[in-house]
Amino acid sequence: MMEHLNKTTGLLIKNGSFVGCSVIFPLDGEFLCLTAGHNIYGKNFDQVFDPDFWKVEDHLGIKHDIKECICDMNFAKAHDIVILKLECGSDLKSFHCPEFYTIPINPAHSFTFRAKYEQSKTVVTQRHLQFNSLCTESDFKFFCTIEKALLMNNDYKSGSDWLGGWSGTGLFLDNHHELICFGVMTDIPNKGNDGQLKFTSVSALNNLNFNIRAASQLDLEKKLLASSINAIFDQTDDEAISKWTEDEINKPQLEYINTKLAKAYSDDRLDLMRKNTIRKLIIGKTFLSTELKKHETIFNQYTKAYNAYALEDLEIVANNRQEANAGIKKIKETYEEYLLSCLEGILGIDDIKILANYGISDWIANCSLSFLENE
């Protein structure tokens, strides 16, 4: 649903001049706008809001009149978020209403926003934000981390001054099949030198009968993930293993598998262990490509962990099959413990076991893992 993100971008215009950004959307027959409270009441929250002087411009450049602000100055000052009712100047059906969720504290999530700053002629999209921490001043306010370079101009000056106008833009979940909004940007603390942005959660609007869901419901979509994993297991049957074995592109990997497993298992077990290794390899690759890649931050964390561990000397000193077998088990156990320390709380134990089994199978199927004999 990310193609609808641009439809939610609204630019606040006062007396013909750009002031800040907002999230615009249809809801229950109304055309609404979320933005930072200080955009309309001033930085000191001491300005009277007169809708006659204001308009909101959509992604097509159409300007819409503002009918009223639902939130008063005291509410805006406390939370720095407001809802505006708009007079739709075009077809309301051409806009898209996002889903709204509470503060997403899970570090697995990656966020995006679209905004315009004062000196820019166009709206830009920024990605790869992550939750950092809650604000001590309010349960409804939180910080997100952003690459500091994105807060610097061509003169290499970081600062919120030249980025004026970002306030009020919506924070959305990146790379998701639904369009999900968590809140609006309210500040660039310390002129951007901390590489952080400040947001107010839509949870502050709960008293206004705003439909807001718990962000915990987004955590890996575990029911969907579980059913997908079951489907992967079902699909990786003997036929799938035979097809993999017969595919010429897998010939180098198959040679590594045959050579290495012969050092660890007796002839009567070799065929079974070969099938098990290929099965774990297929399941792991499919899990990574069809499921984990949907969650960009988790996938990147796993990849970083995998690559770091692969730098270790994956050598097994063994003079017989028993020692070789024990060496393989030891590496798998150590790697599984390592993955658990890196991904605990982000992935479930079963998911980590799949990745651990994939890791050892992948190393057997390439030149990473080797067997040495005592001299």
For every residue of 143-167, DSSP letters joined together read: EEE--GGGGB-TT--B-SSTTTT-T
Q: Which one-letter amino acid corresponds to residue 44? A: N
Contact partners, residue 69, CB within 8 Å, separation at least 6: 40, 49, 51, 82, 83, 84, 85
pLDDT of residue 374: 64
Distance separating alpha carbons of residues 337 and 352, to the nearest angstrom:
9
Beta bridge partners, 173, equal: 111
Q: How far apart are CA 358 and CA 284, in angstroms?
A: 5
Q: pTM score, two decimals?
A: 0.65
Contact 232, 177 (CB under 8 A): no
- CA-nearest of 29, 41, 32 to 10 is 32
Give the model's pLDDT for residue 288: 86
- What is the chain's pLDDT, residue by residue, as a tens digit (375 residues)? 567 899 999 999 999 999 999 999 999 999 999 999 999 999 999 999 999 999 999 999 999 999 999 999 999 999 999 999 999 989 999 999 999 999 988 766 889 999 988 777 789 899 889 999 999 989 999 999 998 888 776 544 555 555 678 999 999 998 777 899 999 999 999 888 888 999 999 999 987 767 898 887 776 555 445 656 777 888 888 999 999 999 999 999 999 999 999 999 999 999 999 999 999 999 999 888 877 776 767 788 888 888 888 777 788 888 899 999 999 999 999 999 999 998 877 777 888 889 999 999 999 999 888 888 765
Where helices occur in the chain by DSSP H, the ranges are: 37-41, 73-79, 222-235, 238-246, 251-261, 267-290, 296-310, 321-343, 349-364
What local confidence, expressed as pLDDT, does residue 233 receive?
A: 82
CB 187 within 8 A of CB 169: no
> Could you give the domains of the chain?
2-218 (2.40.10.120), 222-372 (no CATH)
pLDDT value at residue 228:
66
pLDDT of residue 255: 94
pLDDT of residue 224: 46
Is 143 in contact with 135 (CB distance < 8 Å)?
yes
Name beta bridge partners: 10: 22
Supply the pLDDT for residue 89.
87
Residues 6+ apart with CB under 8 A from 202: 34, 81, 100, 101, 102, 181, 182, 183, 184, 210, 212
